[in-house]
Chains A and B, each alone.
Chain A
Amino acid sequence: NAGVTQTPKFQVLKTGQSMTLQCAQDMNHEYMSWYRQDPGMGLRLIHYSVGAGITDQGEVPNGYNVSRSTTEDFPLRLLSAAPSQTSVYFCASTSGGPSYEQYFGPGTRLTVT
């Protein structure tokens, strides 16, 4: 099992550009999530999904879109990048009950200039 994979590992964007951060898992987990990690603010939830076709907003959803067409993939789209979106982005998937343990990908480090 590869677990949770994310691409790219690093990305530099200019303000106003759009891009998609890819996330995939091969553990057949229903739940997947996107977090961002910023110094002094910890990890914050952006969007999450409880299954294919079902997504919802987390704590900091503005400026980001998600979709979940398959169980395996959960891409995160930046519509019009802003410097405030400079961060490290982590994708996670959650095992089934009763433990519901979360597994994280290696992260994507994004810089918006």
Chain B
Amino acid sequence: KQEVTQIPAALSVPEGENLVLNCSFTDSAIYNLQWFRQDPGKGLTSLLLIQSSQREQTSGRLNASLDKSSGRSTLYIAASQPGDSATYLCAVDWRAETSGSRLTFGEGTQLTVNP
């Protein structure tokens, strides 16, 4: 079964710290992997998308890496700020030609950045 796991479920850090969120997946034949941010009571905001042929993507203080052979992705957040507090979701697309894009989500890591 194709599954996505995120560890830890919750993380609390002081402001300014660099941190890494982890995502693992069971089947390495992925099409792409997306990282999302979700604020309480809100929808999902796409942060970064890594295609299967890519190793990493960067946006501002965020860097996402992909290692298909080990079934892992990491989201690195540099110089964390209280505004980064949110739940971060990892989602894998094992896209098939007939089914289009169907994301399988991890349960997320709830991040709290303390001032």
Contact = CB atoms under 8 A, between A and B. Distances in A.
Contact of A48 (B34, B44, B100, B107): B100
A42 B93 contact: no
B25 to A, nearest CB: 13
Contacts of A56: 99
A106 B42 contact: yes
Interface of B is mostly: strand
B55 interface: no
Interface of A: 30-31, 33, 35, 40-45, 48-50, 56, 58, 90, 92, 94, 98-107, 109
Interface of B: 31-32, 34, 36, 41-46, 49, 51, 89, 91, 93, 95, 98-108
Given A30-B100, A31-B100, A102-B103, 8 more contacts: A35-B103, A41-B107, A49-B100, A94-B100, A100-B31, A101-B34, A102-B34, A102-B91
